Amino acid sequence: MKVVFSDRAYTAVLAETLSKVETETGGVFLGKYMDGIWYIVESVDPGPNSIFQVDYFEYDQKYIQHLINKKALLYGAKLELIGLWHRHPGTFDIFSRTDDGTNSQYAAMRAEGAVSMLVNLEPEFRFTIYHVAQPCRYTKIESYEVGDNLFPRKLLEYKNITTLLNRLNGKSIDANCDRKSEPEGNKSLDEVINIILPELMEKYVYYPKMDFFNMARKEDYSKMIAEIVASDILFLSDRYGIKFYSTKLPNRIIVAQGSGQEKIELFFTYNKKEETVLVSYRDNTYYYKEGLFEKLIRKVLQNEIHAKTNFCLQYLACFLPKYCHI
């Protein structure tokens, strides 16, 4: 069995211990138990109404419950209350009877039990981690590591910004087109643009009357362009696993995937005369507005669903008359 701390959680333990160096203190752990590893994502502080004494400590339960709920809302993965920690005076690194009762309660919350950690300053900082099994059996965990790089990537990811904004703005998510922002599998930028290319070619082609990249040299609209294209970039990244990097130039944002001969680029610029953003892909330029890519992708997917539904109805219509009257 092993414990892995995120950089944030480990720093929180150190900072809380330092802030109450003359008394006992503690906190609770949010994270996940996976394949024999306790991943500690967050360490929640004990709260302002906790009891801090030299040889006694008690958590502010209302505060902790409030903060647990708030912290859990930030992450895409479902974080769980997996353990706790507190400081003991001097070299005393075994649990008291009061500790046994608290540890038993935490262990009973889940089949895997919980982790409980004791911190000591003697005067060097050290800690001892135990696994607590039901009803109250302790096993010392000898192995621990610290580092975000040791975590499964999704465990530290925050919730999708676009999804949260859509909910705040009252935009419903089409259940047929988006299963709660779960990715559909990795695609290249070329593959995604090809999904909507017929629609772009039919309705959004821009025929330049002047040099595309010299439309507004005197003013820099790159910040405005970045704000307009951000939601689509987040959508493509979240839905199709596309990893982008961007380059900011005067009046231009270049969003790219890959490098060298495999590099795929989208060039966004601002047409001041027409007061619109334009996007250039391969050999063509198109009118662009905020959320355009997401809108067209959802439209294409919805049309595919309707086409499949109509086919099924037509197929059934061929056989139903043989068995019943409609």
Write out pLDDT tens, residues 304-326. 765 655 555 555 455 444 434 33
Per DSSP, the three-state class of 178 is coil
Residue ranges of domains in the chain: 2-156, 161-299
Give one DSSP letter per residue of 279-314, joined into a string. Answer: EEETTEEEEE-TTHHHHHHHHHHHHHHHHHHHHHHH
SS3 63: helix
Q: What is the pLDDT of residues 219-229, one digit of tens each?
A: 778 888 888 88
What does residue 273 show for φ and ψ, rounded to 5 degrees? -60, -45
127 close to 120: Cβ distance less than 8 angstroms: yes
2-156 belongs to CATH 3.40.50.300: no
Q: Per this entry, what is the length of the chain?
A: 326
User: Residues of the chain whose pLDDT is less than 70?
Assistant: 163-185, 208-218, 305-326
> What SS3 class is residue 265?
strand
Query: What is the identity of the amino acid at 247?
Result: T
